[in-house]
Amino acid sequence: MQKGQYTYPKQEKLKSRTTIDLMFTKGKSVSKYPLRLVYVPVDEAYTDGAPLKMGVSVSKKHFKRAHDRNYFKRLLRETYRHHKHIIIDRLDRPYALMFFYQTKDRLSFEEINTKTIQLFEKFAAQEQL
């Protein structure tokens, strides 16, 4: 295990409104119910040395209360942090990713963790990383 492999540093957080807009206009997506990953390759100058920029989102439509949305966002960030090596080890260029939780079902951490691994494997296969 490399030092810093299981971190989610500030450089990896997706904050750029223009990149997020680009992701929804020209990005591709991959799904593994109830998770969805929207992604777009980005310019290396933008990435601050990070191979990935990642953001998370949970629908207000499904979870009206902020503490419920925050809980699932925390779970998504945690599963990303533990399994991002599946993507990073195969990257040939930087990507911006947006990670969505798209159901009103309250899945356990173990279920979300399993689905995240499957989603990242599917993303890697789709992009032939």
Report pTM. 0.89
Q: What is the pLDDT of residues 36-68, one digit of tens each?
A: 999 999 887 667 778 899 999 999 999 999 999
Task: Specify the higher pLDDT residue, 68 or 128.
Answer: 68
Domain ranges of the chain: 14-126
Distance of CA 9 to the CA centre of its chain: 14
pLDDT at 3: 55
Percent of the chain with pLDDT over 90: 73
pLDDT at 23: 93
The topology under which CATH files domain 14-126 is Ribosomal Protein S5; domain 2 (3.30.230)
Cα separation of 4 and 43, whole Å?
A: 23
Mean pLDDT (the chain, rounded): 91
Side by side, the strands of the sheet bearing 28-32 are 28-32, 35-41, 95-101, 52-58
